[in-house]
Amino acid sequence: MKIVSTIPEMRTSSREARSRAARIGLVPTMGALHEGHLSLVRAACSQSDLVVASIFVNPTQFGPNEDYARYPRNLKEDCALLEREGVDIVFAPPVEEMYPAGPDTTWVVVEAMSNRLCGRSRPGHFRGVTTVVSKLFHIVEPDLAFFGQKDAAQVAIIRRMVRDLNMPVRIEVCPIVREADGLALSSRNAYLDQDQRKAALTLYRSLHRARERFDQGERETTTLIAAANTEFVSAPGVRLDYFEIVDPDTLEPEPMIRKQALAAVAAFVGSTRLIDNILLGP
């Protein structure tokens, strides 16, 4: 496994692979890898000839009061995990390599969707994501790129960006990986103490409650959301950010579920912001 930290070196490796018609799969990550990331890597390995995993904690997608500085970083362990999975190249550029002149002035923005779900509570977050993903796509030039369903809004927004800008890459989405009790894996779970770890289950329980009502035939989203919200009433140390039911492609709120809908939740457990979601319907 090669560890690459400069853009020219990454580009050379990609171009070399491309010249021998190798299919390139990219797994963009911010490191602090867990089984969720590794499931993406496994999907990439099974569908690509050259697997690139990028590790880059992108400053432009963090708000001024968010956890950029303390976001967990452990390149060495991450590389050991990726090597074991059969990754060919880890692309781990320093910040100065990606933003040599300070923050860029060019942004890729999916206007209609960037203020939905997490975008509402994290202004500027999604334009940071779409911009850095564009940069990674232009540097690595992958045929396939793998994202987790865990950030459902990110997935919808990136799919839309790729379609609108005619980017020559196919987006593959892998299911959420959960702990035995249902908690969605997240690098930010590392911030939780024992009590918070228990309280964090509130997100999953709220989704589960909406699903129960949906399975009983309820289709009005206000009713489903009200049912989900009850979980947060008696959850000490947990503060709901949003619980929404939206169209999974457009992220538009849906008053009535016709076919499929995305139920998405975000909440603070202590000062840690966690997200989770499920699809309702087929």
Neighbouring-strand partners of residue 144: 25, 170
Based on CB atoms, which residue is closest to its own copies, 21 or 180? 21
User: Which of the following is catalytic: 34, 37, 125, 138?
Assistant: 37
Least CB distance to its own copies at residue 137 (A): 9
188 and 273 in contact (C-beta within 8 Å)? yes
For binding to its own copies (CB under 8 A), which residues are involved? 7, 11, 18-19, 21, 104-113, 130-131, 134-135, 138-139, 141, 160-161, 164-168
> Which of 249, 244, 246, 29 shows the shortest CA–CA distance to 157?
249
> Which residue in this structure is represented by tokens 């890459």?
169
Least CB distance to its own copies at residue 129 (A): 13
What span, in angstroms and rounded, lies between the C-alpha atoms of 12 and 158? 25
152-164 vs 125-140: helix crossing angle, rounded to 10 = 60
Least CB distance to its own copies at residue 141 (A): 7
Least CB distance to its own copies at residue 54 (A): 12
Based on CB atoms, which residue is closest to its own copies, 161 or 225? 161
The verdict on whether 125 is a catalytic residue reads no
What span, in angstroms and rounded, lies between the C-alpha atoms of 203 and 201? 5
Based on CB atoms, which residue is closest to its own copies, 41 or 167? 167
Based on CB atoms, which residue is closest to its own copies, 114 or 187? 114
What span, in angstroms and rounded, lies between the C-alpha atoms of 131 and 128? 5
234 and 265 in contact (C-beta within 8 Å)? no
The catalytic residue positions are 37
